[in-house]
A and B are shown apart, each in its own frame.
Chain A
Amino acid sequence: MPEGAPLVSDAHQFAGLEGFLADRGTALLRTAVLLAGGREAGEDLLQLALERALRRWHRVDGDPEAYLRRTLYHLAVDRWRWRMRHPEVDLMADVADSGRDLAEQVDLRQALAQALALLPARQRAVLVLRYFEELTEAEIATALGCSAGAVKSAAARGLQRLRVVVASWEPGASFVGTGSASGPSAPWPSAPSAGR
């Protein structure tokens, strides 16, 4: 059996699935990892969502990604609620950075990521969908099956908790942010004037 190839019977039953996932699997997995707080948990979350989609594959009409994302978001919130009731689970166990990052002293980012992992289910999901997926409030509300008001308030409460973490950080702590040149930026500098 060639590595990575689905079983013959599945290839027919779930026609198009392998190709769809080759195309969109990375995007889905990234969201799952961020929602779940780690790679292992994210892979489990996505596999669970896939399994549910497989049961209803013949009914998934037109947009499998939308179906998978909805399932992912709902599962993430459900599982998060379960995890918060079982606090002995180390939510950040598999989110450790590589030694290269630790050597770069990104403690503030690490603290931020840990604070994010400890947020209530909905607050965390809202922040991931807003700042990673870049969805609007209305889109997040549709995705999570709640009102726009609930999204707004979850985002505000989640950000407020993260601000507390950031505000308590000592000045002078090393932080690697996105680099940017000083000075104003222009899309493309205009060409030098003629006469060269």
Chain B
Amino acid sequence: MTFDVEELLAAELDRRASKVTWHPALLDGALARHRQQNLRRRAAVGAATISLAAAVLAVAVAVAAAISSGRAASSRPSVQTLAYVVNRVRSALGAAGAEILEVHSRLSNGWSYTAWVDPAAGNLRIDTNPPGGSPVRYYASGSQVAIVKYETKTYSSEQVDVYALGQPPGWILFSLLGVSATWGDLGGSIPSAAAIRHQLDVGKFRLAGAETVNGQRLLHLRGVGKLPELRPVGGGYRAIDMWVDAATFLPVTSVTGGGPYAPRIESTFTWLRATPRNRAVLAPEVPTGFQSVSILPPGLTTQAPTPGDSASP
């Protein structure tokens, strides 16, 4: 087996970088060191003329700077409140909104899928694995949807209605007419950075604790998310457990509790840069020899189904 070292290198650099995000404490640290430097310079130049009050202030500021200076990782509050953690997660998700989110999910109904969500480009790819069946891949770019079915060795490319049924911002939900059963089996929607952020805004969460899993320090948020009305999948409230990286505050894994309308979903998240190479993963690929078909049965339009339509096939 031969390896392309340049490809390997690029992929490894990308992978390592994807785990890193900016946090404001880094700026705080730099500002504190800057102030310390300024104080030292002023002290050296005008030591003889500093008044007693200024000297007391300089000591107070230096003490504060000493406490907050140093490596950014040590400048977190010693007690991380829920508000602090949620704020940091929201901030991290806001910064990650321009990135590509890769989601691996396992569902309690036997399905699993891997999805790539690129909200900035409006692209989505889902590789689904039905229980006991062959993979089906979905690609969406705006209102264009392509589906590749490995069992039948067919593919289709249609212009369908990409719609949101009163969804909160960021949920990417689209109806694949003719495959609504599949959509229901997938739990109804695929998360995005904005969608997860929205859950933090509308749901009720508490800080359940901190854990170290395989050497990674995680903060556990537990709560009830208010999920959108996902007709025909259903909706309402659902229990959510989310673990975020204690350093980057980006979600790492989640477990969404099942209910009468949706399966329990265990997901892991990877945040990728929106580079041309990573974006290319979402471009449709059709294996050689696959036949072009239509997913729309004759007579059906591309109108979105109205609320109340049944999910059952």
A interface list, Cβ under 8 A from B: 3-4, 6-7, 10, 14, 17-18, 21-22, 25-26, 28-31, 33-34, 39-40, 42-44, 46-47, 50-51, 54-55, 95-96, 98-100, 102-103, 108-109, 112-113, 116, 127-128, 131-132, 134, 159, 162-163, 166, 169, 171-173, 175, 177-193, 196
B157 touches A190 (CB 8 A): yes
Known: A54-B30, A96-B215, A100-B214. A177 touches B283 (CB 8 A): no
B interface list, Cβ under 8 A from A: 1, 3, 5-17, 20-31, 33-35, 37, 71-73, 77, 84, 87-88, 91, 94-96, 137, 139, 141, 144, 146, 148, 155-159, 213-216, 247, 273, 275, 277, 281, 283-290, 292-294, 296, 298
Residues of A near B72 (CB, < 8 A) are 43, 47
16 A-B pairs within 8 Å (CB atoms) are namely A4-B88, A17-B27, A18-B27, A28-B22, A34-B13, A43-B71, A43-B73, A162-B5, A162-B9, A178-B11, A183-B285, A184-B286, A187-B284, A188-B144, A188-B157, A192-B156
Residues of B near A186 (CB, < 8 A) are 284-286
Residues of B near A21 (CB, < 8 A) are 22, 24, 26-27
Tell me, in angstroms, the Cα distance from A113 to B141 when the chains sit together: 35
Which of A42, A169, A181 is most buried by chain B, counting CB atoms within 10 A of its CB?
A181
Residues of B near A39 (CB, < 8 A) are 20, 247
Known: A30-B20, A47-B26, A50-B30. A128 touches B13 (CB 8 A): yes
A4 touches B87 (CB 8 A): yes
Residues of A near B155 (CB, < 8 A) are 189
Known: A29-B20, A54-B31. A132 touches B10 (CB 8 A): yes
Q: Which of A51, A166, A183, A190 contacts B292 (CB 8 A)?
A: A190
Residues of B near A189 (CB, < 8 A) are 146, 155-157, 284, 286, 292
Q: Is the interface of A mostly helix, strand, loop or mixed?
A: helix
Tell me, in angstroms, the Cα distance from A166 to B12 when the chains sit together: 13
B14 touches A132 (CB 8 A): yes
B7 touches A177 (CB 8 A): yes
Residues of A near B24 (CB, < 8 A) are 4, 18, 21-22
